[in-house]
Structure formats: structure tokens, C-alpha cells
Structure 1
Amino acid sequence: MKNEQQKIQTALQDLQDHICAGLEAMDGKGKFEEDLWERPGGGGGRTRLIGDGNVLVKGGVNFSAVEGEAPDALLKTLKIEAKGEESLRFFASGVSIVLHPESPYVPITHMNVRYFELSDGTWWFGGGIDLTPHYVFPELAQQFHQRMKAVCDEFHPSFYERFKPWCDDYFYLPHRGEMRGIGGIFFDRLGPEEELSKEELLDFIIAVGKAFVPAYAEQVAATKEMSYGQKELDWQALRRGRYVEFNLVLDRGTKFGLQTNGRTESILMSMPPTAGWAYDHQPEAGSAEAQTLGYLVKGIDWLAPLEV
């Protein structure tokens, strides 16, 4: 089992290196700084931060591999009951990314791929990629979803059809009645019941990780030169506020990290550098901001022909 854990851990470390190199090349200025950390109780990680770039004002690419006795709060969240008197131990490893751009026309993006197992033999993979534009451009949303479908189709014809609505449901703010962004793919607890083997599922999450930089670079190239003013920056602050609300109130990854005594600074690296809230803000009818809100709903088929 330890050899298998090491194989997965090494694959994810290599993925972190691959993504960081790609993002530095994409940004053209920003460079990652690394913070190595250890977790009391077992394991640790490499937090890498980038900022003050041509594109990225703040970003993080975090690798972690942690283990130890599974806290009761974690088992309750996972709806798992320990059998017998011996406590369960857990091992978890993953790469998580959040990028906040300077321009309000360049989207926020998030990616996470992870592996989890318990000492009773339970194991699964999870992850996904999603896009959170401050302003939604349908053509770019379609391109993003086409890339997500392409990486899914390499491994199973049903993956995109399963993981796209799963993403819509997950990245939804029920207290706002809106999605965080335009979605992407999200999957969790892919384990022995899947048609793919454990090794194939590992290959799948690594492929998802390697699809991240090309998919985001395409969005950046199309939007980074667009001019903007204070109106757009104010809207960006409000959308960043929605991002904060989701991550602190609803995100399972944040809860998992805090429940397992993870490193708080690494867990909260997803927060934007600044954010804003305005009481009952209503965008002007017909504005680009109002049009964006119209796209932040579940169930949009981004692969269908766009209406002209």
C-alpha cells in the first residue's frame, strides 16, 4: 500500500511542477515562490504562490500529502462509520489551484485533483476544473467546455455527461440562487465501482491536470488586452465576494482541510487579494453585468450551437 501511495504522490508532485512551469510561461513575468510545510500528525506539502505578474495578481498551486488518524468530524462528513474499536487512518494527496487575475475580463479559475484512502481499504479519486468569469463571453465558455469534454472523452464517453451537471450542482450558491461561474467538470468518489481501474483513474486525474494550463491560457489570450475602468473593477470586486462566500461556506475542500488540521494558510490561499460586497446590488438592465448574471444558471448546454 505504501508503494502505491508513493506512486500517486509522486505523480501529483510532478503534475504540480508541470503546471507551475506552464503558468509562469503563460504569465511572462510572475514567478512562483515555494513554502514547504509539515502537518502535525503526518505529512505535509508544497505551497507555491505567484503574484504581481502580467496576468495574475494572486495565485496558488498547492501540493499536499497528509496522513494520520481520521477525525470523527471527517468520518461524519464522509458518512463513514469506523468498524470495531481500532480507529481508522487516512491518507490524502492532491494538487489544488486557484488563480485570480488582475483584469476583470480575465476569469478566475480553479482546479483540484486528489486521492483519498482509509485503512479499511476504502479509496477514491476526485477533482475537476471550473471557470469563474467576472464577465461571461459565450464563445469562450463554449471553448472551455469543449476542452473539458475532450479530456473526459479520452477515458470514458459518459464522463463529461456525468461530470458537467455535477459541477453545476456543486458550484452553486443556494443563498444567492446563482452559480459561482460557468462550471466545467467536477467528480468525487471515483472508486472500485467505476469501469476504469485504479491505475486508469490515476491517469485520468493527471490528464485533467495537464489540460488545465492550455484551457486557461486560451481564455487569457482572448481577454487580457481588453481595456477596462472603475465600473468593471467594482463588478470584479462583487464577483470576487461571491467566490469568497462559496469557498468559506460551501466548499468541501476547505472543510476537509480544516477538519484534518491542515495548514490554514495553504487552505485559504484560494481567497482573492481583495473583494467587495454591496447591499442588494442590482446591475442595470441590458448591461454586460446583467447579461453575465443571466448565464450563471444551472443546466446551460455550452456545447450546443450558440445563438447569434
Structure 2
Amino acid sequence: MVVDKQRITQFFTELQDTICQALEQTDGQGRFQEDLWERPEGGGGRTRILQSGAVIEKGGVLFSAVHGPASEAVLKQMNSHEPADFYATGVSIVLHPHSPLVPIIHMNVRYFELSTGHSWFGGGIDLTPHYVDAEDARWFHQQLKAACDRHDPAYYSNYKTWADDYFFIRHRAETRGIGGIFFDYLRPENDDHKAALFAFVQEIGNTFAPIYTHFMQKNRSLPFGEKEKKWQMLRRGRYVEFNLVWDRGTKFGLETNGRTESILMSMPPQANWIYDYHPEPGSREEQTLFALKKGVNWV
């Protein structure tokens, strides 16, 4: 079967459905509300938001498929100089839990093509625990490595390093979380290569629900108190800082008149900042900060 934009788009719509169903079932209380939207320049999407669930305080699972004339910035990224139309589709997810002992998670899988014939895939999954637990971190990275190894033994190492570098809050000199994998501009060389890259993107998309529902079930009942909630709000603040200052997708969307509500769905419902905050020496909070470094070998 030919891998074209119609087939890729169909997979992304089905992936959104599958993930939303798994999250609702595991949460047990929350239900996604759907917001259908159209882009004046062409295309649109389905924004699905879950709020006030039993585990998920706020989460978004977004599908979009948009098209139109490609901007000069997009053409430059693709190393193309002739005018062209673009088509872009994908699924993007961010989930913020109630409990500071359940991690924040992000996933994005996407496809982009120009009418000139240029195309590429991108995506990845990364985890942002409020408290870094070595056992959970190892398990998370083992799942990603297994998914990568089914397609290319070099993928995990390469894309983990890319994630460490990308999800880095430079002005804080710390990673956003424990990383994961990140890949971008994977350009097919021929039809067979495009099919192989699409199979890899499908693998990563299908890995999301088993990973996060595992953490929802495992950590949802762990006890916590006011101290842990205070720390959670501070870590959410770091999440906001990264997304507004460093995240390319957020910046590109806002700069190109994208749909603001969908772009900013990644923001937590609440966050906090305390001036010149330093955790207590020897505390779990300090240990977490020590773990937010590049190059940690979790597997």
C-alpha cells in the first residue's frame, strides 16, 4: 500500500481516538470534550481536552491536518526556494496529573510535505516527573528503546541525545524532565524508506497509551501532602518556561497566527514561581534537581 498523506492522516485520526479511549478508561472519571475547528487558510483539526478527571487534572489530545501556501520560513527549513503549497498533519499530547507523584507526559507525531515533493516525519515522547524515580525512569526508557530497536538499533541512542538537547531549559541549566526520544526532519529517500519511517512513527504513536496508563495505574494512589503539591507547582512553572521560551512548535504557532487555544493547551491549569527558591539539602526535591541533567544513561 502506498504511504501517502491520506493514509498518514487516517492513522493520526485513529491514533487520537485510541489514545483518548485508553486515557478515559484508565482515569475512570474524566471525559474528553471535543472542539472542532477550521483554519481559514485551509484545513482544521479536532482538539480534545480532559479536565478534572480522577487522575488527569488537565490534558489535551490534538489532531490537525492543515494546508495552504508555504511561508518563506517553511520553505527555508525545507531548503526549497520555489513557491509551494504545504500539507501538515499530526497528533500532539500533553497531560498534567493531579498528583505530584504521577508524571507529566508529552508526545507529538507529525508529517509534513510540500507540493514540490519534499516531505518529512517528526515526533517523540518525553516524560517530566515532578519527582525523579530511578525505577520509573528506567522502565520508561526501556519501553522507548524497545520501540526504537524494532526499527533501527541506532535510533534510541541518537534520538535520546536529541531529546536531551532539545528539552533543555538553558536559562535554568537543567533538563525539563528525564527526556525520552525526539526526532525531526526525517526525510524519505524513496517509497520504501517512506514506508519504513511511517512504520516507526506508528510504533511511537502506539507506544504512548501503554506507557502513560502504566504510570496512571501505578502511581495514582501514592500518598502526598502540601509539600509535594508546592513542589509540583514549581515544576509546572519550569514546564511553562520551556514551552514559552524554547519550544519551537509553540513559538512557530504563535508567530504564524496559529490557533492560540490549541497551541497553549500544553500549559498546566496552575503553576507557581518563588523567588530564588532552593530546596532543602538532602531532600527529594534536591535529588530531583540533581537528576535533571543531560546524558543520564537510564537503560
Q: TM-score, normalised to structure 1's length? A: 0.93
Residues 74, 256 of structure 1: 8 Å contact kept:
no
User: Residue 168 in 1 paired to residue 167 in 2?
Assistant: no
Q: 2:134 aligns with which of 125, 135, 138?
A: 138
User: How far off is 1:3 after superposition?
Assistant: 8.5
Q: How does 1:1-308 map to 2 (within 5 A)?
A: 4-76=4-76, 78=77, 80-83=79-82, 87-193=83-189, 197-303=193-299
Residues 32, 50 of structure 1: 8 Å contact kept:
yes
The one-letter amino acid of 2:217's match is: A
The one-letter amino acid of 1:113's match is: V
Alpha-carbon distance in 1 for matches of 2:65, 2:200: 19
Alpha-carbon distance in 2 for matches of 1:210, 1:291: 32
For each residue in 1:227-254, what CA deviation from the matched residue of structure 2 results, as whole angstroms up to 9, or x when unmatched? 1111111111110011001111111111
Q: Please identify, of 194-203 and 109-118, the stretch whose mean Cα deviation from structure 2 is larger.
A: 194-203
| Structure-2 change in CA distance of 1:180 and 1:17 (3 Å) | same
Cα RMSD of the aligned pairs, angstroms, is 1.7
User: How far off is 1:20 after superposition?
Assistant: 0.6
Alpha-carbon distance in 2 for matches of 1:6, 1:212: 22
The one-letter amino acid of 1:93's match is: T
User: How far off is 1:81 after superposition?
Assistant: 4.5
The one-letter amino acid of 2:79's match is: I
Residue correspondences, number: 298
Alpha-carbon distance in 1 for matches of 2:118, 2:71: 16
User: How far off is 1:258 after superposition?
Assistant: 2.6
User: How far off is 1:5 after superposition?
Assistant: 1.4
Residues 35, 48 of structure 1: 8 Å contact kept:
yes
Percent identical residues: 59
Alpha-carbon distance in 1 for matches of 2:252, 2:30: 30
Residues 109, 132 of structure 1: 8 Å contact kept:
yes
Q: Please identify, of 255-264 and 152-161, the stretch whose mean Cα deviation from structure 2 is larger.
A: 255-264
User: How far off is 1:193 after superposition?
Assistant: 4.7
Residues 22, 213 of structure 2: 8 Å contact kept:
no
Deviant stretches of 4+, over 4 Å: 193-196
| Structure-2 change in CA distance of 1:156 and 1:52 (3 Å) | same
Structure 1: runs of 5 or more not aligned: 304-308
Structure 2: runs of 5 or more not aligned: none
For each residue in 1:135-193, what CA deviation from the matched residue of structure 2 results, as whole angstroms up to 9, or x when unmatched? 01000000000000011111111110111111000000111000000001110011125
Secondary structure at the counterpart of residue 197 of structure 1: helix
User: How far off is 1:261 after superposition?
Assistant: 2.8
